[in-house]
Amino acid sequence: MRKSLLLLTLLFSLQGHVSGANAASTETTEELQPYQPRFGRDKPLVAVVGENHMTELVDFLVPFGLLGRSGVAEVLALSTREGPLQLMPALKVRAQATIAEFDQRYPQGADYLIVPAVHYSDDSTLTGFVAAQAAKGATVVGICDGVLVLGHAGLLNGRRATGHWYSRKQREADFPDARWQSGSRYVVDDHLVTTSGVSAALPVSLALVEAMAGPTKAASLAREIGLKDWSPVHDSQAFAVGPAGYLTAAANYLAFWRHETMAIPVEPGVDEVALALRADAWARSFRTKVLATGWSPLLTRHGLELLPDAPEPGLQPVPGKAVPPGLALDEALEAIAERYGVTTAAFVAAQLEYRRH
């Protein structure tokens, strides 16, 4: 069902999006302001909030995992309601707290609030929480089309912002008072930060580390994960699905006899960033259903409860090898190209708004 929704979104909402954008371009000099301690906290408090029905996998897990790995902040994963948090296009987790519990525990609010793309961007519980955190002084970071949540929360009027390339027309129509930008992986307007497509979760997370702990710490973390660059430089105009992408999506989706279910076996302490990037890429091929398999709920590297799928006999593991998290997308796209062809790999990369290295 989720794959059907994604296919319909791509095949119908992309109409007219493949031509040149009319959004304003921006010089890529975006820079987050250095963190200023508040409320006597030893470390900044970061909340990553998801909507239970469907939240984008990379948008949610990459900032949580990368900021947790940095050690420069207290990071909490939140859900709008009790119960499992379904991630899209794969995996399921249980957040560390609900937003109601977070409000009780931290009435002064977060220092940084990270908002992924969600299926229901106008969910009143979520938008109310985002607006309240902004009013308390949090820096609000919309990852990918998390910017739509920010818009429904009333935070975009007159503000510079960006989002995933394929939502451009929707953004411009729904929030015409925003000053829409292109040509940047992330756009900074005071305490409001927004990013381009899914893969921008990596560079903006490093930019947040730099704001919290300085460039030396950010550079050290970048080397640790194998990422060479986290600058905002980005060619938004280069991304489109185009006719070849439409045909690839339709052919892969409709050729059900060629569909595969593959497993990513998970164990306690699994790295959230590498897992998210790998699973997200393969699940977007429209050829592969990805299961994170294990025997019982387990905690990831930074304490998030992952709810794995029960192992199924005979499942083939997702192809590929273990690589540093910053190289996980390139590794996955290379393996997808080998298994399904270069057009499918290009289609996946376009969805992720990622240029292969």
Q: Is pLDDT of 106 > 90?
A: yes
Closest CA to 343 of 252, 280, 257: 252
Q: Dump pLDDT digits (tens) for 58-71.
A: 999 999 999 999 99
- pLDDT tens figures, 217-226: 999 999 999 9
Residue 124 reports pLDDT greater than 80: yes
Contact status, residue 14 vs residue 6, Cβ threshold 8 Å: no
Pairwise CA distance, residues 310 & 291, whole Å = 9
Q: What is the dihedral of CA 114, 118, 124, 126, to 10 degrees?
A: -20
Which amino acid, 84?
A: P
305-306 vs 298-299, strand pairing mode: antiparallel
For residue 249, pLDDT beyond 70: no
Question: Residue 59's closest CA among 142, 129, 179, 122?
Answer: 142
Q: Residue 258 — pLDDT band, cuts 50, 70, 90?
A: confident
Query: What mean pLDDT is predicted for residues 298-326?
Result: 93
- Listing from the earlier edge strand, what are the strands of the sheet with 24-25? 24-25, 179-182, 160-161
Peptide bond between residue 89 and the one before it cis (omega within 30 degrees of 0): yes
- Check residue 14 and give its pLDDT: 40
- Encode pLDDT of 4-36 as tens digits: 444 434 443 343 333 333 344 444 478 899 999
Annotate 200-269 with DSSP letters as a single string. GHHHHHHHHHHHHH-HHHHHHHHHHHT-----SB--GGG---HHHHHHHHHHHHH-GGG-EEEEEE--TT
Say how many Å lie between the first and final Cα of the chain, rounded.
Answer: 32
Q: What is the pLDDT of residue 104?
A: 98
Quick check: 79 and 99 in contact, CB under 8 A?
A: yes
Q: Do 319 and 268 form a contact (C-beta atoms < 8 A)? A: no
Length of the chain, in residues: 357
Q: How far apart are CA 165 and CA 169, in angstroms?
A: 9
pTM of the predicted model as reported, rounded to 2 decimal places? 0.91
Whether residue 257 has pLDDT greater than 80:
no
Confidence of residue 242 (pLDDT cuts 50, 70, 90): low
Distances (CA, A) of 87 to 163, 187, 219: 19, 25, 30
Which residue in 47, 107, 45, 95 sits closest to 73, CA to CA? 45
Q: pLDDT tens, 283-292?
A: 999 999 999 9
pLDDT of residue 240: 67
To which residue do tokens 């607006």 refer? 131
Tokens read off for 2: 């989720």
Residues 191-207: pLDDT tens digits?
A: 999 999 999 999 999 99
What totals of helices (H) and strands (E) does the chain contain, helices first? 12, 18
DSSP-assigned states of every residue in 309-357: BPP-TTPEEPS-----GGGHHHHHHHHHHHHH-HHHHHHHHHHTT----
DSSP 57-90: HHHHHHHHHHHHHHTSSEEEEEESSSS-EEEESS
Per-residue pLDDT at 278? 96
For the chain, give the mean pLDDT: 89
The residue that leads in pLDDT, 169 or 7, is 169
How much is the pLDDT for 7? 45
The whole-number pLDDT of residue 312 equals 85
String of DSSP letters for 3-23: HHHHHHHHHHHTTT-SS---S
Does residue 352 register a pLDDT over 50?
yes
What whole-number distance in Å separates Cα of residue 175 and Cα of residue 148? 9
pLDDT at residue 1 greater than cutoff 50: no
Give the pLDDT band of residue 321 (cuts 50, 70, 90): confident
pLDDT of amino acid 27: 46
Instruction: List the Cα angle 33/207/71 in 5-degree steps.
Output: 100
Q: Which residue has the tokens 């207290």?
A: 74
Q: Is the pLDDT of residue 163 over 90?
A: yes
Res. 56 pLDDT band, cuts 50 70 90: very high
